[in-house]
Amino acid sequence: MKSVLLAFLAFLQIPGSAVSQIRSGIPGRGDFQISADISRYYGDSLQAYVELAYAVRENSLTYDLDSGRYVGTANFTLTVRTDSGIVLRREWRVPHVLADSERMHGVQQLIGLEGFAVRRGVYSVVLNAVDALQPRRGDSLTLPLTIDFTAGKPAISDIEFCTTIEQSENRRSPFYKNTLEVIPNPARLYGSGLPIIYYYMELYNIGGGADQSPVKLHTAVVDAAGREMTSKDKPKQRSHNASVEIGTMNIGTVRSGTYYFTATLIDTGNRVLAQSSKKFYVYKPGSRPDSTLAGGREPLSFLQFYGMTDTAVILEFHEASYLATEQEKEQFNQLTDLHARQKFLAEFWDRRSTDSTRQTNPYRDEYLRRVDYAVNSYGTPGTPGWRTDRGRVYIMYGPPNDIEHFASTQDAAPYEIWHYDDQQGGIIFVFVDETGLSNFQLVHSTARTEFQDENWFEDYAHKAK
């Protein structure tokens, strides 16, 4: 950091006639990092509307001096894909101009919003960004996205965390919706400088039926142990089938840590009609994390594992066994205390974090998303999907670029060939169902370290006459 400041001071001392000839730019401060958050809203019976809020610090950009102004740009790429392939891809540039170089010492966020519509299903949303003047400086986030709104049933959209919400008539603003200007907080980070949570959500299918009894919207800030730190109740009439809900929550007394903001729709019989929840973070310099668990020993990420039961912790580690070393497996199997297992699992994922400075772990999120898909798609009687050969390959290598399906014939058992065009120069996996019970076994692969048998068809698929 000192070298950057010295270079900046030296730059200011160059005579004005020489400055106009220098266009190497002022480098960004710190790491180039983006933050992003997804909010899903009900569209119609076929699709949902998704908003991706994103942010990058303005002082992390590299700036060129142009006509007395400092000009920087971030280039973004958005990719939305299913296991079958890409369904959406967009690219855009976000230019930013500073009139005063002093702004480069601040922490102001450049915030944007990108919206798109998708049908029911399971997706991965990948957001890439690079510093246009220094393309080697970039960041990437992968966010899981599931669209599963059920028509006719009460529902609550995702909670959108905001820095401000104001009445507005400016329809040209990218943050305008429903007569409001809603400025998102993609990092979901609050603290000393931002002690008030502004939130936006939408309620669906709460009226229009025979039951016109009032309902109650219960909003709360909940810690990792499930304790409500602060909450509010608001009565709602069923005069409209859908409504917009905005509000604030003061978290000034909440200590540093990881929390959940929950919204629950409850009827007069205390039945839960719908619920929505989203994680957020509080950071206050000098504040001890709100957890009696840590005492400075556990990582902050440990908070998200604290509420897990012993069964859930053991299952997740077993599902992650494809990543674990033999030493890690041995260590975990020797643990008998729930707290110790929770801490071990937190540290296990921290060691595989793509960015140790963040409280969330996109690597773990994507891995568990693949596990869920494998469980739902590749299970056989007596074997959960993540333990099957196809499940393991999907978890470790991701969705294939192409799958060739070959049905059973008089001469051959059914088999599949999975193609991965972008890995190891192009690789395949061959699975054969010798029993005819959808129990596909891996019989050949061109991937390094995987089982190989060039005669796989004769050895496994061919039916002897």
Q: Three-state DSSP class for 338?
A: helix
What pLDDT tens digit does each residue of the chain (465 aa) get?
Answer: 333 322 322 323 333 333 333 344 688 777 788 899 999 999 887 899 999 999 998 888 999 888 888 899 999 999 999 888 899 999 999 999 987 766 666 668 899 999 999 998 889 899 999 999 998 888 888 888 888 877 778 899 999 999 999 999 999 999 999 899 999 999 898 988 889 999 999 999 887 566 678 899 999 998 866 788 899 999 988 777 889 999 999 998 888 887 889 999 998 888 888 888 888 888 877 665 554 333 333 444 555 676 678 888 899 999 999 998 888 898 899 888 887 888 889 888 888 775 544 556 778 889 999 999 999 899 888 889 999 999 999 999 999 999 999 998 988 999 999 999 988 889 999 999 988 888 899 999 999 889 999 999 998 988 765
What count of residues does the chain have? 465
pLDDT, position 296:
37
* The token pair that represents 370 in the structure block: 């693949």
Q: How is domain 33-59+75-87+107-283 classified at the architecture level of CATH?
A: Sandwich (2.60)
Cα 321 to Cα 378: distance, rounded to the nearest angstrom? 18
Query: Is 71:97 a contact under the CB 8 Å cutoff?
Result: yes
Structure confidence at residue 88 (pLDDT): 95
* CA distance linking residue 190 with residue 194, whole number of Å: 5
Burial of 253 (0-12, 13-18, 19+ CB in 10 A): exposed
Please spell the DSSP secondary structure of 302-317, one letter per residue.
GHHHHT--HHHHHHHH
DSSP alpha helices (H): ranges in 320-361? 326-333, 338-350
What six digits make up the tokens of 270? 């205390």
Domain chopping of the chain, boundaries: 33-59+75-87+107-283, 300-360, 379-461
Q: What's the pLDDT score for residue 380?
A: 86
Residues 147 and 48 sit within 8 Å (Cβ to Cβ): yes
State the pairing for strand pair 272-283/402-406: unpaired
State the DSSP code for 459: I
For 262, the token pair is 């929950």
Q: What does R_g of the chain's alpha carbons equal in angstroms? A: 26
Supply the pTM of this predicted model.
Answer: 0.60
C-alpha pair distances (Å), 158 with each of 41, 49, 249, 261: 7, 11, 17, 11
pLDDT (0 to 100) of residue 282: 87
Provide the strand spans (E) within 83-227.
85-98, 109-119, 121-131, 134-147, 155-156, 160-167, 176-177, 180-184, 189-191, 196-204, 215-223
**Closest by CA position to 60, among listed 108, 10, 3:** 108
Whole-number Å distance between alpha carbons of 109 and 209: 44
Find out whether 101 and 72 touch, Cβ atoms under 8 Å. no
